[in-house]
Amino acid sequence: MDSKDGASPFKTWREFIAEATELLGEAGVPSPRVDAELLAAHVTGLKRSQLLTAGAPTAGQAFVFVGLLERRGAREPLQHLTGAAPFRYGEIAVGPGVFVPRPETELLVDWALEHLPEGGVVIDACSGSGAIAHAIATERTDARVWAVEADPDAFEWMESNLEGTGAVPVLADAVAAGTLAELDGLVDLVVANPPYVPMDMEVAPEVDFDPSGAVYADEAGLAVIQPLALRAARWLAPGGWYGFEHDDTHGKAAPEILRVSGFTEVADHRDLAGRSRFATGRLGLSP
Ligand SMILES: C[S@@+](CC[C@H](N)C(=O)[O-])C[C@H]1O[C@@H](n2cnc3c(N)ncnc32)[C@H](O)[C@@H]1O
């Protein structure tokens, strides 16, 4: 491309990305090369592999790319800059006002899909962007899925992410007795990624861009987890399953909460880094 087309005559994308990687690395971004490539791919519409042999950016592309780099260097989440978070086989639209789905939550979805009977009824409590409900509804089209979210801003993202999936968005407090009370005793699987980070926990700068009500919870991070286990027990049919994500400091407390809430076959599960990540249990077959 020559400068008549508005292209930069100086740098190829390859060189631009090398400089961007250095800049993001200095800002403490954990995966600077990947982020630089993903931002360049976002700006150009090219695949990451194509960027290696791409020519120079146009002046417009260079301008947008530099702006995005500055924001990423200030630790704004990559997903806010691209507007999407990959989750399972789909892409979830995200931005300010909604929690960015994390890859480790995919493990909870794996577990959920293994425990979902044919034609099963599912509630994704604390659904945020709708990531979990979206994955279950699209990967198991036989399931009937409800997604509950209390924050009206997050609910808007969830509603649009779930469009066309068949999952039903519900704006409500998942812990309240009246929420989806018509499903009490009829649900096969409840799944949740509630807010669970203890208030005094130090977190990565990107987390400051998530709504604080999506991240932190009182009572050492258990303020939503505790009542939600009781609510899940009322939604579930005998023999139904409940699985929820928790902080890695909850490896003992989370299974205990399930036991005292009436669950059996209680287990705690680790993520790929070996951290205690989610707890699961089954509602007894007889009361
Ligand atoms: C950690 S985010 C999880 C979002 C999504 N499930 C995910 O895995 O990416 C927790 C979400 O729960 C919502 N939330 C917190 N308390 C709630 C409650 N009592 N009822 C319903 N939603 C709640 C927050 O607004 C937030 O969107």
State pLDDT tens for residues 59-109. Answer: 999 999 999 999 999 999 999 999 999 999 999 999 999 999 999 999 999
Checking if the pLDDT of 4 tops 50, the result is no
Is residue 224 in contact with ligand 1, taking CB distance under 6 Å? yes
Checking if the pLDDT of 2 tops 90, the result is no
Residue ranges of the domains in the chain?
Answer: 3-75, 88-283
User: Each residue of 249-276: pLDDT tens digit?
Assistant: 999 999 999 999 999 999 999 998 999 9
With the most atoms of ligand 1 within 8 angstroms of its CB, the residue from 145, 149, 230 to mutate is 149
pLDDT at residue 285 in the model: 77
Residue 3 pLDDT grade (very low, low, confident, very high; cuts 50, 70, 90): very low
Alpha-carbon Rg of the chain, whole angstroms?
Answer: 21
CA distance 170 to 176: 13
Other Cβ atoms closer than 10 A to 169: 23
User: Each residue of 206-240: pLDDT tens digit?
Assistant: 999 999 999 999 999 999 999 999 999 999 999 99
Distance 210 CA to ligand 1 centre (A): 11
Q: Which fold has domain 88-283?
A: Rossmann fold (3.40.50)
User: Each residue of 28-50: pLDDT tens digit?
Assistant: 999 999 999 999 999 999 999 99
pLDDT at residue 192 in the model: 98
Reference 59, options 7, 94, 10; nearest CA is: 7
pLDDT at residue 1 in the model: 35
* Nearest-atom index, ligand 1, CA of 105: 8
CA distance 95 to 104: 19
CA distance 61 to 67: 10
Checking if the pLDDT of 8 tops 60, the result is no
* Nearest-atom index, ligand 1, CA of 179: 20
- Report the chain's mean pLDDT, rounded to a whole number: 95
Is residue 196 in contact with ligand 1, taking CB distance under 6 Å? no
Is residue 232 in contact with ligand 1, taking CB distance under 6 Å? no
Tell me the sheet residues that pair with 243.
Answer: 191, 280
pTM here is 0.94
Is residue 79 in contact with ligand 1, taking CB distance under 6 Å? no
Residue 284 pLDDT grade (very low, low, confident, very high; cuts 50, 70, 90): confident
Other Cβ atoms closer than 10 A to 217: 20
- Percent of the chain exceeding pLDDT 90 equals 92
Checking if the pLDDT of 286 tops 90, the result is no
pLDDT at residue 38 in the model: 97
Distance 149 CA to ligand 1 centre (A): 6
pLDDT at residue 10 in the model: 64
- The CATH class of the 3-75 domain is mainly alpha
In this structure, the residue with its CA closest to atom 7 of ligand 1 is 101
Both tokens of residue 202? 């130090």
